[in-house]
Amino acid sequence: MTTTTVREATVGLLRDTGMTTVFGNPGSTELRMFRDWPDDFEYVLGLQEAAAVGMAAGHALGTGRAAFVSLHSAGGVGNALGAVFNAYRDRVPLVIVAGQQARSLIQLRPFLGVDEPTRFPRPYVKLSRQPERAADVPAVLAEAHRVAMTHPRGPVFVSVPEDDWDAEAEPVQHRAVRADFTASPEALAALAARLDACARPALVVGPGVDDESALPQVLALAERVRAGVWISPLSGRSGFPESHPLFQGFLPPVAGQLASRLAPYDVVVALGTPVFTYHVPDDAPPLAPGTELFHLDPDPAQAAWLPTGTSLVTTLRPALTQLAAVVRESGREPPPPRVRPEPVTAADRLTPELVLDELHRRLPRDRMLVEEAPSHRDVLHARVPVDRSGGFLTTGSGALGWGLPLAVGRALADRRRVVCVLGDGSAMYSVQALWTAVRHRAPVTFVVLDNGGYGAVRALGRRIDIDPVPGTDIGGIDFAGLAASFGCPADRAERPDDLGKALDRAVSGLGDEDGPHLLHLKVAGTDGTLYEPWAR
C-alpha cells in the first residue's frame, strides 16, 4: 500500500462513505485537519456546537447516511452534549471527531487539553475512542462509521490529537456491513399464532419503523390482521399514515393513561419503540390485565429493561416480511377510526388550534414537517396529520434546541422545503442556526408560536399543583427582528385577520430555491391539558 498522511487517508474514507458534507465549529486543535481542504467537500459552519450536531443529524436523517461532525476540544464537546444525547436516543448515525492537544503536550495538562476524552460523551455514544497511535486514526474512524450505521444506529466519538493529522498512515478501504438480522422462524411463528388467535390486536409504532424505512411492511401487517395502530409516546419520527382508517392516535407518556389506551386490546405488538416512555410519575402498572405485549427491536439493551412482555431482538423489515407471510388474513372487524377535531371557524385571537388548522390547509402532502413546540405538540398531532414515511421529525428525547438546526440540516440533505414549527422557548436554544440557513440558502420555513414562555413546563407544574412556576416567563423577544439581523426574511402576525396572508407568503408562496423564511406568531397560552389527548 502507498503510505500517506492521516489527513489524506481520512479524506479518502469520508469520500468513500459519502460524508463529504462536514458540520462543525473549528478551533486550533482541528486546524491541521483542514490543510488542502478538498474542492468536493462542503463545510457547514454552526455558530454553536449543539447547532452543528443538530444540523448534522438532520442531514443524516435526510440522506440515510452517517454525517461527519467536527467539534473543538472539551469545550466544544461540552456545548454539544445535549444534541449528542438527542442523537443517541433518536438513533441518528453521526461520526463525531473532537480535537485534542498534541500528543507531546497531553501529559503536561496543556491549554485546551482534554482529560480522559473518551469518558466525556459517554454513555450517549455507541463507541468512544482516542487512537493509541496516530497511524491508527483512519482505521478507528472506519470502525466508528460501521458502528454508527449498524442497528440500532447512533452517534460515535473519536478524539484526535491535533498533530496526528500530519503523521503517516495507511489508506483504509471502505467496506460494507450488511446489518439486517431477524428473529428465529420459531419466534415469529409463535407471534403469528397469537395474532391469528387474538380478538383485538394493536400495533405500537415507534421511531425504528421510520429509521428502517419499514412502513410498507407495517402497513401490510396492520391491514392483514386489522390491527389498531398507535404511535409510541413522544416518538421523534413518523411511522404510520395518520389519515389511515386503522390509525388510532398517539400514546401518552403517563403509565395509567397509556395502559388505559391499550386496555381494549388482548395482543399488542410494539415495533421499534421502548413503548414505556414516561414523563411524569404514575403508580399504574405498565399494561392492564389481559393485554399481552410482543416487542420487536434491534437493541438488546432495550429488550432487557422492558418491564413486561416478550421481546424479539431483530431488525424490523425482514421480521415483518416473514411475519406477514405466515400470519392469516383476518376477517375480524377493524377498530373504528378516530374522530378528528372540528376545524376552528372563527376566533378573536391567534390560538394554536387556529394556526395549525390554517397551516394544514396550506401544507403540501409531501412537505417535511419538523416540530419543537412542546406546549402545542398534542394540538399539532390532532390537526396536522402526517401521511408519508419520513415526513415528520421532532425531539424524541427532550433536550431543547434540536428542532431549528435539525430542520436546516434536513433541508440541506435534498434541497426540498421544510416547515419547522417552533415554540419561542425552543427557538432560543439554537437560534444561531438561522445564520447557517441564510448562508447556505436552506429552504426552511420557520413558524414560531410565541406564547411568552415555557408553556409545557407551566402545564406540568399545574399537573402537580405548582402554579405559578418561576423562571417560565420569557416574553419580549422580537423573533422577526432577530431573524432579520441574521439576514433571514421574516414576517409577524398577531391577529386572525393577518394569519392567512402571512402563512401564504411563508408556506405556500416559497419554493425550494427561495431560502429560509421566519414567521413570528403571537399565540394564546396553553390551557394545561398536556398529555390529555383530544381523542381516545
Beta carbons of 353 and 383 less than 8 angstroms apart: yes
Cβ-based neighbours of 195, under 8 Å, separated by 6 or more: 201, 225, 267, 269, 327
Q: With b meaning 16 or more CB within 10 Å and e meaning fewer, what string describes 155-165?
A: bbbbbbbbbbb
In the annotation, is 279 catalytic? yes
Q: How far is it, in rounded angstroms, from Cα 403 to Cα 406? A: 5
From 8, 24, 46, 49, the catalytic residue = 49
From 28, 104, 184, 213, the catalytic residue = 28
In the annotation, is 509 catalytic? no
> Nine-digit cell at 171?
489508506
Burial class (CB in 10 A: 0-12, 13-18, 19+), 182: buried
Angle at 295 between CA 211 and CA 298, to 5 degrees: 45
In the annotation, is 27 catalytic? yes
In the annotation, is 24 catalytic? no
CB atoms within 10 A of CB 19: 25
From 8, 30, 162, 353, the catalytic residue = 30
Q: With b meaning 16 or more CB within 10 Å and e meaning fewer, what string describes 95-129?
A: bbbbbbbeeebbeeeeebbbeebeebbeebbbbbb
Look at residues 366, 393, 432 and name the one whose alpha carbon lies nearest to residue 61.
393
Beta carbons of 55 and 409 less than 8 angstroms apart: yes
From 8, 24, 27, 76, the catalytic residue = 27
In the annotation, is 331 catalytic? no
Beta carbons of 247 and 229 less than 8 angstroms apart: yes
From 18, 75, 78, 398, the catalytic residue = 398
Q: How far apart are the first and last CA of the chain?
A: 64
Strand blocks (E) in 415-534:
418-423, 444-450, 490-493, 517-522
**Residue 484, by phi and psi: left (phi above 0), alpha (psi -120 to 50) or beta?**
alpha
Q: What's the alpha-carbon Rg for the chain, to the nearest Å?
A: 24
Element (H, E) at 497: helix 496-503
Beta carbons of 245 and 227 less than 8 angstroms apart: no
From 18, 279, 330, 500, the catalytic residue = 279
CB atoms within 10 A of CB 18: 15
Active-site positions read 27-28, 30, 49, 72, 279, 398
